[in-house]
Amino acid sequence: MAVTLDQVAEAAGVSKSTASRVLSGSSRVSAQTKRAVQSAAERLGYRPNRIASGLRTRRSNLIGLVITNLVNASFHTITGVLQQRLDECGYQVLLCVTDSDPVRERRYLDMLLDHRVDGLIIVGTGDNTATVRQVSEAGIPVVNLMRTPDGAPGDSVMAGDREGAELAVQHLLDLGHRRIAFIGGPASVDSGRDRYAGFAAALGAAGLEPDPVLCARGPYTVPFGAEAALRVMGADDPPTALYSANHEATFGALGSLVQLGVRVPEQLSLVCHEEAPWFPYWHPPITVVDNGARDLGELAAEQILRRIDSRPDSSSGNGSANGDPGSEDVGRLIRVGSRLVVRNSTTAPRLPG
Residue 184 to residue 8: CA distance in whole angstroms = 55
pLDDT at 53: 53
pLDDT at 316: 34
pLDDT at 315: 35
pLDDT at 312: 65
pLDDT per residue of the chain (353 residues) written in tens, 0 to 9: 678 888 889 999 989 888 888 887 776 788 889 889 889 988 888 876 554 455 444 678 999 999 999 989 999 999 999 999 999 999 999 999 999 999 999 999 999 999 999 999 999 999 999 999 999 999 999 999 999 988 899 999 999 999 999 999 999 999 999 999 999 999 988 999 999 999 999 999 999 999 999 999 999 999 999 999 999 999 999 999 999 999 999 999 999 999 999 999 999 999 999 999 999 999 999 999 999 999 999 999 999 999 999 876 533 333 443 344 344 445 899 999 999 999 999 999 987 65
pLDDT at 19: 87
pLDDT at 321: 38
Q: How far is CA 251 from the centre of its chain?
A: 19
Task: Give this prediction's pTM.
Answer: 0.79
Count CB-CB contacts under 10 A for residue 143.
27
Q: Domain 161-290: which topology?
A: Rossmann fold (3.40.50)
Residue 77 to residue 189: CA distance in whole angstroms = 20
Q: What is the 3-state secondary structure of 275-306?
A: CCCCHHHCCCCCEEEECCHHHHHHHHHHHHHH
Q: In a 3-state reduction of DSSP, which class is residue 203?
A: helix
pLDDT at 246: 94
Q: How far is CA 163 from the centre of its chain?
A: 17
Angle at which helix 161-175 crosses helix 190-205, to 10 degrees, equals 40
Residue 222 to residue 58: CA distance in whole angstroms = 42
Look at strands 287-290 and 339-341 and give their pairing: antiparallel
Every domain of the chain and the residues it spans: 5-48, 60-159+293-336, 161-290
The side-by-side arrangement of strands in the sheet containing 333-336 is: 92-97, 62-67, 119-122, 142-145, 155-159, 333-336
pLDDT at 132: 97
Look up the CATH superfamily of 60-159+293-336. Response regulator (3.40.50.2300)
Measure the CA angle with vertex 109, ends 107 and 110; round to 5°: 65
pLDDT at 326: 41
5-48 CATH, one of 3.40.190.10, 1.10.132.10, 3.40.309.10, 1.10.260.40: 1.10.260.40
Per CATH, 60-159+293-336 and 161-290 having the same topology is answered yes
Nearest in space to 155 (alpha carbons), one of 311, 338, 317, 299: 299
